[in-house]
Chain A
Amino acid sequence: DAGVTQSPTHLIKTRGQQVTLRCSPKSGHDTVSWYQQALGQGPQFIFQYYEEEERQRGNFPDRFSGHQFPNYSSELNVNALLLGDSALYLCASSSLMTGGFMTQYFGPGTRLTVL
């Protein structure tokens, strides 16, 4: 049973560029959430996708956008990168359909460095 996978593992970009991060949920899960974890801090919620729609959004600017595909995988896009966007980006999956939506399982993360 495959767990949550994310790609790429590491990414280095320069200010002003755009980046796309990818996530495949755990088998049987239909909901994907994205979190940003700055160094030395706990993860902060960016948004959640279910049925290809953004279900809820945290306190992040519109530069952060996402998408969910029919196979439940998801992308996180960040435009006009700032130095402060350097962080570990975590994807988590859960199952809204089976009622297990409160328990989220995390992928290994993507470490984004903005120079």
Chain B
Amino acid sequence: AQTVTQSQPEMSVQEAETVTLSCTYDTSESDYYLFWYKQPPSRQMILVIRQEAYKQQNATENRFSVNFQKAAKSFSLKISDSQLGDAAMYFCASHTGTASKLTFGTGTRLQVTL
């Protein structure tokens, strides 16, 4: 069974600063993907970034990057140059090759202050 754990219920960052959201996961499979999704108050779940487990290089998407530590089963999200529009719930999720589903963590609420 897959599990995803987000230990930070809430985080706060000042505009233009950098923040890191933490996530750990557990799976016995070797073929899996990891994701960060953003859910603003509008409720739509938006894909932020994706990491394939077989890739050693950390994924980056503009101001968003991940620190993927496979041996430690850690997958953190770094947001650089934070903007007011980054304020949202952030969910870490995993998907294995044998399952049809995404397994989500409990989410981290990110506040961005002026």
Q: Judging by beta carbons under 8 Å apart, are B50 and A90 in contact?
A: no
- Which residues from B are CB-within-8-Å of A107? 44
A43 touches B33 (CB 8 A): no
Pairs of residues from A and B, 9 with the lowest C-beta to C-beta distance, nearest first:
A42-B104, A45-B101, A56-B100, A106-B45, A48-B100, A102-B95, A102-B33, A108-B44, A109-B43
Q: Please give, as numbers and ranges, the residues of chain B lying within 8 Å of A109 by CB-CB distance.
A: 43-45
Say whether, besides A56-B100, A106-B44, A108-B43, A42 and B105 are in contact (CB < 8 Å): yes
Chain A interface residues (CB < 8 Å from chain B)? 33, 35, 41-45, 48, 55-56, 58, 88, 90, 92, 101-109, 111
Hey, which bits of chain B sit against chain A, CB under 8 A?
32-33, 35, 37, 42-47, 50, 91, 93, 95, 97, 99-107
Chain A interface SS verdict (over half): strand
Tell me if A103 and B43 are in contact (CB < 8 A): no
CA distance A56 to B37 in the complex (A): 22
